Amino acid sequence: MPKILLIEDEEKIARFVELELTHEGYEVFKAMDGRKGLEMAESGGYDLLLLDIMLPELNGMEVLRRLRKTSSVPVIMLTARDAVMDKVTGLDAGADDYITKPFSIEELLARIRLALRKQQTPALPQLVCGPLAMDIARHTVAVDGEQVDLTGREFSLLQMLIENQSIVLTRDALMERVWGYDYVGETNIVDVYIRYLRSKIDDRFNIKLIHTVRGVGYTIKQEQGHD
């Protein structure tokens, strides 16, 4: 059972996250301030840290900076909306990922699974969805062994989808993860790139992997039969 240390001073959020993660089979430990959190994290034994930035005693960024001197445990930062600087600084300081409050539990769970998987397999595995295989290290994509040429953005978008297989990702989440928080431009950019991917993968090979979930976003999955 993976052990997760949650360092979060907002009791409501901490309780909600603890409840959901426990329900998912994680063992959750909590610290309500930065100093206590750092102390617990340094004692080791956790598979992953969820670290809020605005914390009493010692802020999350400082906790991370100190912790990284001795530990490479995966850390997902919990940041306030629009705090672009926090994210940049957080990733620079050695965070593995960040998630913006308010977040959905599904998104948090997806990030946790991803971070834990990365930790377990330092050599990037092939990502597979039905006949589609992505080799992250070699930056190649193939369907039934036949090479597909993708641009950098298309590749990132496909990777994001395939790493979160069968989970519906919202346009906002895809936009933030693939284009970055400070992206300025067409708001339908995600839809445009989904169309590119569909024409290069689904249409070309006559398969259906990329699915639209109306009013929500997109997901990639292999379905039995056709729709």
**Considering beta carbons, is residue 78 or 190 the nearer one to Ca ion?**
78
**Considering beta carbons, is residue 9 or 24 the nearer one to Ca ion?**
9
Radius of gyration for the alpha carbons in the chain, expressed in angstroms and rounded:
19
**Considering beta carbons, is residue 9 or 57 the nearer one to Ca ion?**
9
Q: How many residues does the chain have?
A: 227
To Ca ion, the closest distance from the beta carbon of 176 in angstroms equals 21
> H-helix or E-strand containing 128?
strand 126-129
Q: Which residues bind Ca ion (CB under 5 A)?
A: 9, 52, 54
Q: Is the dihedral of CA 173, 175, 178, 181 positive or negative?
A: negative
CA–CA separation, 114 and 151 (whole Å): 23
To Ca ion, the closest distance from the beta carbon of 83 in angstroms equals 11
To Ca ion, the closest distance from the beta carbon of 55 in angstroms equals 6
To Ca ion, the closest distance from the beta carbon of 80 in angstroms equals 8
Q: Which residue is nearest to Ca ion (CB)?
A: 54
To Ca ion, the closest distance from the beta carbon of 26 in angstroms equals 21
**Considering beta carbons, is residue 60 or 217 the nearer one to Ca ion?**
60
**Considering beta carbons, is residue 54 or 168 the nearer one to Ca ion?**
54
**Considering beta carbons, is residue 60 or 74 the nearer one to Ca ion?**
60
**Considering beta carbons, is residue 11 or 203 the nearer one to Ca ion?**
11
To Ca ion, the closest distance from the beta carbon of 52 in angstroms equals 4
* Cα–Cα distances in angstroms (integers) from residue 63 to residues 102, 113, 128, 183, 197, in the given order: 22, 23, 36, 29, 40
Angle at which helices 60-67 and 84-92 pack, to 10 degrees? 10
208 DSSP 8-state letter:
-
* Cα–Cα distances in angstroms (integers) from residue 154 to residues 119, 125, 131, 185, in the given order: 25, 19, 18, 17
120: phi then psi, degrees, rounded to nearest 5: -70, -35
Work out the end-to-end distance of the chain between its first and last CA atoms, rounded to an integer number of angstroms. 38
To Ca ion, the closest distance from the beta carbon of 155 in angstroms equals 35
